[in-house]
Amino acid sequence: MEYRHKTSPSPRKFKVVASARKVLFNVFWDMEGVVHMEFLEQGQTVNFERYISTLRAHKLRLRCVRRDKDSILQHDNAHPHTSHQTQDALRQLELTTLPHPAYSPNLAPSDYYLFTQLKKYLKGDHYDNDEEVIADVRRWCHGQSSEFFADCVRQLVKR
């Protein structure tokens, strides 16, 4: 709602264009780099079933790229992460999670560090289709050094 004089011109409304679409991106990473990433098809959302499927794929990928290392997942309190079905799947897959305090978005490293840097990289670029965006995001993720990811974890300790 907006207060204005009767003779004031109507506010301009912007139309959504095709380029305003979003590509959903799930990423699992550690101090060494990206372990697993997935891009969701247009119109899909992350519910507990989709998240469990992603966790299974992550576990398989983890065996390939970090064979002898333990994995601790740190994610926020979104419903797909905290549902009973997800918690059962985490136990079955033997994945340990780090508890996330409620109302603490500044403790989600992907939000305050990884995605912020990715957005800076993508800012101002225009893509003709989702495949171009996905390819550029993959290229950027794989182009980051292990020091980049380690720095993020060090920032989490400070927070």
Residue 14 lies in a domain: no
Residue 47 is assigned to a structural domain of this protein: yes
Q: For residue 93, tell me if it sits in a domain.
A: yes
As a whole number of angstroms, the distance between CA 70 and CA 104 comes to: 25
Q: What is the mean pLDDT of residues 57-70?
A: 86
Query: pLDDT tens digits, residue range 73-101?
Result: 888 888 898 899 999 999 999 998 887 77
Task: Please give the model's pTM, rounded to 2 decimal places.
Answer: 0.77
The Cα 71–Cα 137 span in angstroms is 24
Q: Which residue has the higher pLDDT, 110 or 15?
A: 110
Residue 6 lies in a domain: no
Q: Which pLDDT does position 16 carry in this prediction? A: 58
Q: Which residues contact 122 (CB under 8 A, 6 or more apart)?
A: 133, 136, 137, 140
Considering the domain boundaries, does residue 80 fall inside one? Answer: yes
Q: Is residue 27 part of a domain?
A: yes
pLDDT tens, position by position, 16-48: 555 556 788 999 998 899 999 999 988 888 899
The answer to whether residue 5 sits within a structural domain is: no
- Our count of domains for the chain comes to 1
Residue 12 counted as domain residue: no
Question: How many CB atoms within 10 Å of residue 30?
Answer: 19
Could you list the residue range(s) of the whole structural domain that residue 97 is in? Answer: 21-158
